[in-house]
Structure 1
Amino acid sequence: MTESLTWERTTWGDPRAEVLLAAMDAEISPRYAALRGTAAPPAPPSGEDVDHVLLALVDGVPAATGTLRRLPDRWEVKRLFIAAAHRRRGLAGAVLERLEASARELGAQEVYLQTGNRQPEAIALYERTGWERVEVYSPYDPTDGISICFRKPLTAAVPR
């Protein structure tokens, strides 16, 4: 049986994306609890700074999400997450490609992202898909020993 994959651009607060983001928090937060101690994690995106939320739906069920956030001086990919049942199918790379295309449409020449040092699968994805490590940028703390930041130049889309 073939699964049906559809893409939907939505907004912050979409309950389908919130289910995925809650799963992300439940999976990722424990990795950093000992490192952070009592320090607060970086502030999450909000409806005011997120341009859009991308959802991948497999047979109508939310399978993956990612957001494009506007910082004062750059566009940033945030909250990229693939539901456990849908991993190893290329969805993470597809979400990234679509977010990069959206940033390009918004006039961005480059896009950034931040991840943590306890997410080797995310780091491997970014390096494999052409992202380059850069210095930790604001609003992240370069002294926290956790943040790893990346940048990707955006080239013109190739006509299909």
Structure 2
Amino acid sequence: MQIHLESPQQADVLALIAELDAYQQSLYPAESVYSLDLASLPTDTLLFAVARDGQGVARACGAIVVTPEFGEIKRMYVHPDSRGLGLAKRLLALLEDKALARGCRLLTLETGIHQPEAIALYARHGYQRRGPYGDYPDDPFSVFMEKPLALAA
């Protein structure tokens, strides 16, 4: 599988994002699903990565929205048929590297309590729990995490 930065505005990627939305809506009440319309963002604030199989089909994706204060991980999703291949780990590593190259020094994220695999992935990669940030409410269905990024010595 190849992973590259791409536009999210592609039919197969939009289908993957729609799967993610449906999955989250099956787990949480509507008011606790904090989806982000990637098309509404200025393109210079978005890092969007796609993992594609040997036939070029999008199998996983993830994004970081870079703001002056922090980068926020959004839209991380691996198609069920492609789980267990290390794609989330590889997506996360690429996105972290690209965010650091843009000068980002702190990554944040919001995930849900019913997604233990996601929480474990982030914890394994140095993310620590924290309280709500930005415009997020203190939602009992949410888990907030952060990770400082540092330049390699």
- The alignment status of 1:152 with 2:147, answered yes or no, reads yes
Detail structure 1 runs of 4+ shifted over 6 Å in the superposition.
Answer: none
Q: Percent identity?
A: 30
Shift of 1:72: 5.6
For residue 44 of structure 1, what is the aligned residue in structure 2? 36
- Partner Cα separation in structure 2 for residue 132 and residue 89 of structure 1: 24
Q: Deviations over 1:20-76 (max 9, x none)?
A: 11111122211113xx5xx36335143325512100101111111001113463211
Tell me the TM-score normalised to structure 1 length.
0.84
> How far apart, CA to CA, are the structure 1 residues paired with 2:150 and 2:108?
14
Q: What's the Cα RMSD here?
A: 1.8
CA contact (8 A) 2:62 2:74 kept: yes
Contact 2:47 2:99 in 1 (8 A): no
User: Which position in structure 2 is the counterpart of 1:15?
Assistant: 11
Aligned counterpart for 1:126 among listed residues 116, 122, 127: 122
Which secondary structure state, in structure 2, belongs to the residue aligned with residue 136 of structure 1? coil
Q: Which residue of 2 aligns with 1:55?
A: 50
Once residues 7 and 75 of structure 1 are traced to their aligned partners in structure 2, the CA distance between those partners, rounded to angstroms, is 20
Alignment of 1:21-100 (within 5 A): 21-33=17-29, 36=30, 39=31, 41-47=33-39, 48-49=41-42, 50-59=45-54, 60-71=56-67, 73-100=69-96
The 1-side partners of 2:32 and 2:86 are apart by 32
Equivalenced residues, count:
149
Q: Could you tell me which amino acid in structure 2 is paired with residue 119 of structure 1? A: Q
The unaligned stretches of length 5 or more in structure 1 are none
Q: Is the 8 A contact 1:12 1:52 kept in 2?
A: no
Contact persistence 2:47–2:95 (CA under 8 A)? no
When Rg is computed on C-alpha atoms for both structures, the one with the higher figure is 1
* Letter aligned with residue 33 of structure 2: P
